[in-house]
Chains A and B, each alone.
Chain A
Amino acid sequence: DIQMTQSPSSLSASVGDRVTITCQASQDITNYLTWYQQKPGKGPRLLIYDASSLETGVPSRFSGSGSGTDFTFTISSLQPEDIATYYCQQYDSFPLTFGGGTKVEI
């Protein structure tokens, strides 16, 4: 199974700050990586797919980069509505696996 190591597990930042989350795969997953946002009591929302493609309707302050085993997710200017937990997920092979999540607080 492919292990996804996400860091940090939590962070606190101010409105307007640049926020960066990293995700490392235990083996090469090319660019088969997504980033999701989850708010309390809700299902996850797809933000980024294929490591760097922005899902339709997602604000451009969200971005992703990387390939192979090392990936980065960035919020360029943190907004109050971005308070949530963020997960990376690989879809290179089954079983699909998620990172442990990053809780973003203000």
Chain B
Amino acid sequence: QVQLVESGGGVVQPGGSLRLSCAASGFTLSNYGMHWVRQAPGKGLEWVSFIRYDESDKNYVDSVKGRFTISRDNSKNTLYLQMNSLRAEDTAVYYCAKDKYRRVGLMDVWGKGTTVAVSS
């Protein structure tokens, strides 16, 4: 059964850092592009970042460029999002999602999310 489980969320002060993890099971992570998508409280979905299956390409939404870094450890079947210089507007539920095989941007499986709250 294909599954994604996010962890690492929590409460952090403005300017602080967090590292989110996404544990993949039921498929081989190294064969798939992966994404992070977030949802602020009561709001819609916002795509945050993408890493290609072979790590040859990474993309970010403008609002997180220079602050967030996406990475993966295929040996651990785990995706990461390092978040630095956090702001109040980064408060959201963060989901990881996998691409349909070789279909960049077509996200076919999502996790249940992990909550990040940036507050003093």
Binding site for B on A (CB under 8 A): 32, 34, 36, 38, 41-46, 49-50, 55, 87, 89, 91-92, 94-101
Knowing A32-B105, A46-B107, A91-B104 are in contact, say whether A98-B59 is a contact too (CB < 8 A).
Answer: no
Q: Which residue of chain A is the closest to B47 with respect to CB atoms?
A: A96
What per-residue 1/0 map shows which CB atoms of B65-108 lie under 8 Å from chain A?
A: 00000000000000000000000000000010100100111111
In the complex, how many angstroms separate the beta carbon of A8 from the nearest chain B beta carbon?
A: 14
Query: What would 18 more interface pairs be, CB under 8 Å, given A43-B113, A98-B45?
Result: A34-B107, A42-B112, A44-B95, A45-B110, A46-B107, A46-B108, A49-B106, A49-B108, A91-B103, A91-B105, A94-B59, A95-B47, A95-B59, A96-B50, A97-B47, A98-B46, A98-B47, A99-B44
Residues on A with beta carbons closer than 8 Å to the beta carbon of B103:
49, 91
Contact A96 B108 (CB under 8 A): no
Contact B44 A98 (CB under 8 A): yes
Q: Which residue of chain B is the closest to A41 with respect to CB atoms?
A: B112
Q: Which residue of chain B is the closest to A96 with respect to CB atoms?
A: B47
Dominant SS at the A interface?
Answer: loop
Q: State A28–B97 Cα separation when bound (angstroms).
A: 25
Q: Which of A34, A38, A42, A95 contacts B106 (CB 8 A)?
A: A34
Residues on B with beta carbons closer than 8 Å to the beta carbon of A46:
106-109
Q: Which of B104, B108, B110, B112 contacts A55 (CB 8 A)?
A: B108
Q: State A89–B47 Cα separation when bound (angstroms).
A: 10
The 9 closest A-B pairs by CB, nearest first: A91-B105, A43-B110, A96-B47, A98-B45, A94-B59, A101-B44, A46-B108, A95-B61, A43-B95
